[in-house]
Structure 1
Amino acid sequence: MLLPSLLESSQKSSPIYSVFIILSLVVLLGACVGRPDNTVWHQHYEPVEDLHIHKFVQDAFAEAQQYYGKSEFSVHDIHIRQSVFRKDRFLLSRADISNFSELSRQIFFNKDDSPEDLIWDALTAETRNCVKQAALGTELSVTGKQQVVTGLNTLIESYAFYQDLVLFESGKEGREEEILPLSELSGSEKYIRNFLDNHFLHFLLPIPQKRYALEGVEVCECLSPANNVCILYVSAEPGSPDFFPQLAHEVFHLLSPQSFDWYVEGLCNVFAEEYCAQHGCSWQSVLAGLHARKTTDPYAISYFMMRDIYNIAGPHLANFMKFAVWSDKDKTRKHIDITRWLNTLPPEMRDRVEKTIWSYSRSLKAHKGAINSFILPQ
């Protein structure tokens, strides 16, 4: 789930920096076990809101569930982040709005001499239509939600709306407030976003004030079961050859977000390879990187192990994720009960798979524990 380069750099760094990296990994990987409502960690990173990419994720998730079983986590919505620091932290993304219906109701039904009146007048006809639909009870599609986000972001970037809002607010409170010049556009964006955050307090996540130190992470983060929202982080930028393979890898983690296991990591890459091959996405760049690190990087080692197992027992992997069990030492993490799964295989096939696992065991055992489990057959 994390970049091999990040792990390698931590091995070469000073002891103090290594401690920082390990603690950071704990924070990042701990995200998979569920976080409180209104988590803002994802706000630090660049949203990927392209509808074609969103469809890729939805289709890949559907296919993963078709072949490997239903997800343990009831996923209501999936958001994508490129794990680089966000260029404009004042703009909204879909993940920053916790309740489109209630937000839309407040805008649509409170338009008499109010800030909602200003907002409504400044929205385009297309955005107004989406707000109206949501306010009247229609569940917006991803496209509709994105239209609302785009409309609100247009207001945040609008200097004219900023002027109107300052005049409205200062007039309401009987005071004069200096209007920032156009040259200080970031200040006007901050003013509008702060206003929206406070005015729609229960529906918008606040502007993040703290910046986490890590970029380049690849992880699947599932927020609390109350909202059933998942965030997929990839290091590659859209358009790069690694983007869709990384995304498909993280999609597979949605089947069991609480599994921290090298068998699962390897199978994530096998799924990504198979899915990309079937849907015209190049895997060659990723494969070249895995080959280059096949003796040193546990992500590469686990891929080659699970690729070999897939070649031996492919159809029997359909029930593999059902053997994810809670760890005795940490009830927030799961691992694969490999012995129980092996016992479902025909004897000759079991022997071949078990020999394959043992052939990779020395390399993977060296990397167990800190990030992922690796339990050998009994």
Structure 2
Amino acid sequence: MILLRTLHRSLFGLGATVALLVLAGCVGLPTGKPAGPWHEAYEPINDPASEAFVSNALQRAVAAFGDPVVPVNKVLLRRSKKTEAAKRYHIGEDFSLTECFDSSNGVFVIYLAVDPGHVNYYALLGHECTHLINPYITDWYMEGMATVFSQQICKQLGVKWGDWERHFNRSRRQPYALSYRMMLQLQEVFPRDYPLMINYTTPIKKRDEWLRIDIDAWLDSLAPARRLQALSIIEPYVKELNRNVGTQYAFQTPEALK
């Protein structure tokens, strides 16, 4: 079984906006810094099919959630595997991450933990494309939303969603599985209100660029009866998701469930 671990932070302290999805293991901190931008230390993915997927996925993400908070003008794809020139640097490998590299010019970098052709390649790429809408949100609501979008965009574009569905539908504790199922249920019951959730955000800490979904603000936008329905969907997942809160991801328990 593929285990997913997560880490959100400024990329190795450089202040770049990232959303990180790591496969089977933690990324170590570097002891040295490569010359130039970080993405140049990783292998480029020059694959027309991947570029077409990103273009289509972004268009559909915008249609679903609205315009990105940082207009996306260019997306660079990188396999998170060090180039030969960067082998001597102690920097992480085999992670999936969306980095806002240059917000002034709308340049993003998507790093992927696996090669094109891997069973989970498009599942990871679809997930990361969702973070192009707002790479500053780092909580379990957003992660679940990105995973749901990944599944649906893969189906729409006719590519396999890897082996995620089998794992995510049976795991009782894995936070990516729980957040996926929670958000999928919310989308099914609230198809119009669900995508608006991404607009309700609040800083995780004061004067912090990282955001979390303000779930209470979203719930307050619903009629009372529907609010109770949404709370009944969220409640079974609260305990386990709160166990996975820390420096990596935030999670806000609705006030009505405290």
TM bin, normalised by shorter chain, reads: 0.7 to 0.9
Q: 1:306: which partner in 2?
A: 183
Alignment-derived partner of residue 337 in structure 1: 214
In structure 2, relative to structure 1, the CA distance for the partners of 1:305 and 1:28 (3 Å cut) is farther
Deviations 1:102-140 (A, max 9, x none): xxxxxxxxxxxxxxxxxxxxxxxxxxxxxxxxxxxxxxx
- Structure 1 residue 44, shift from structure 2 partner: 2.1
Q: Provide the TM-score with structure 1 as the length reference.
A: 0.58
- The residue number in structure 2 matching 1:41 is 38
1:213 Cα offset (Å): 3.1
**Of 52, 68, 71, the match for 2:49:** 52
Q: Is the 8 A contact 1:45 1:82 kept in 2?
A: yes
Match of 2:204 in 1: 327
In the superposition, relative to structure 1, how do residues 236 and 291 fare at CA in structure 2: closer, same or farther (>3 Å)?
farther
TM-aligned CA distance change 1:65 to 1:362, over 3 Å: same
**Structure with more helix by fraction:** 1
Amino acid at match of 1:57: V
1:255 matched to 2:252? no
Q: SS at the partner of 1:219?
A: strand
Compute the displacement of 1:269 (Å).
0.4
- Shift of the 265–28 alpha-carbon distance from structure 1 to 2, 3 Å rule, reads farther
Please say if residues 260 and 373 of structure 1, whose CA atoms lie closer than 8 Å, have aligned partners that are also in contact: yes
- Closer, same or farther: CA 5–274 of 1 in aligned 2, 3 Å: closer
Kindly provide the amino acid, as one letter, of the partner of residue 214 in structure 2.
D
Shift of 1:78: 0.2
Q: Which residue of 2 aligns with 1:61?
A: 58
Letter in 2 for 1:367: N
Shift of 1:234: 1.4
Show structure 1 runs of 5+ residues with no match: 8-21, 90-207
Q: Tell me the distance in 2 between the aligned counterparts of 1:46 and 1:218.
A: 13
Q: 1:337 to 1:39 in 2, by over 3 A?
A: farther
1:369 corresponds to: 246
Maintained 8 Å contact 2:96/2:110: yes
* Count of matched residue pairs: 238
Give runs of aligned pairs for residues 106-117 of structure 1, distance below 5 A: none
Using the TM superposition, give the Cα deviation of residue 330 of structure 1 relative to its aligned residue in structure 2, in angstroms. Answer: 4.8
Q: Report what 2:192 is aligned to.
A: 315
Q: 1:312 to 1:28 in 2, by over 3 A?
A: farther
For residues 87 and 114 of structure 2, what CA distance do their matches in structure 1 show?
25
- Closer, same or farther in 2 for the Cα pair 1:82/1:334, shift >3 Å? same
Do the aligned partners of residues 249 and 280 (structure 1) sit closer, same or farther apart at CA in structure 2, a change above 3 Å counting?
same
Cα distance between partner residues in 1 of 2:129 and 2:36? 20
Candidates 79, 82, 90, aligned match of 1:82: 79
CA–CA distance in 1 between the matches of 2:67 and 2:159? 24
State whether residues 263 and 302 of structure 1, in contact with CA within 8 Å, keep that contact through their aligned partners in structure 2.
Answer: yes
CA contact (8 A) 1:69 1:321 kept: no
Q: How does 1:151-230 map to 2 (within 5 A)?
A: 211-230=89-108
Instruction: Kindly provide the CA deviation profile for residues 286-332 of structure 1, in whole angstroms up to 9, marking residues without a partner as x.
Output: 2123235x223212211111111112112211212111222343521
- Secondary structure, in 3 states, of the residue corresponding to 2:75? strand
Matched, 1:32 2:21: no
CA-atom RMSD in angstroms = 2.5
1:265-284 to structure 2, matched below 5 A, reads 265-284=143-162
Quote the Cα distance in structure 2 between the aligned partners of 1:366 and 1:282.
Answer: 31
Q: TM-score, normalised by structure 2?
A: 0.83
Structure 2: give runs of 5+ residues left out of the alignment: 20-34
CA distance in 2, matches of 1:219, 1:74: 18
- 237 and 284 in structure 1: CA distance in 2 versus 1, 3 angstrom threshold: closer
SS at match of 2:167: helix
Q: Higher strand fraction: Structure 1 or Structure 2? A: 2
The aligned amino acid for 1:311 is E
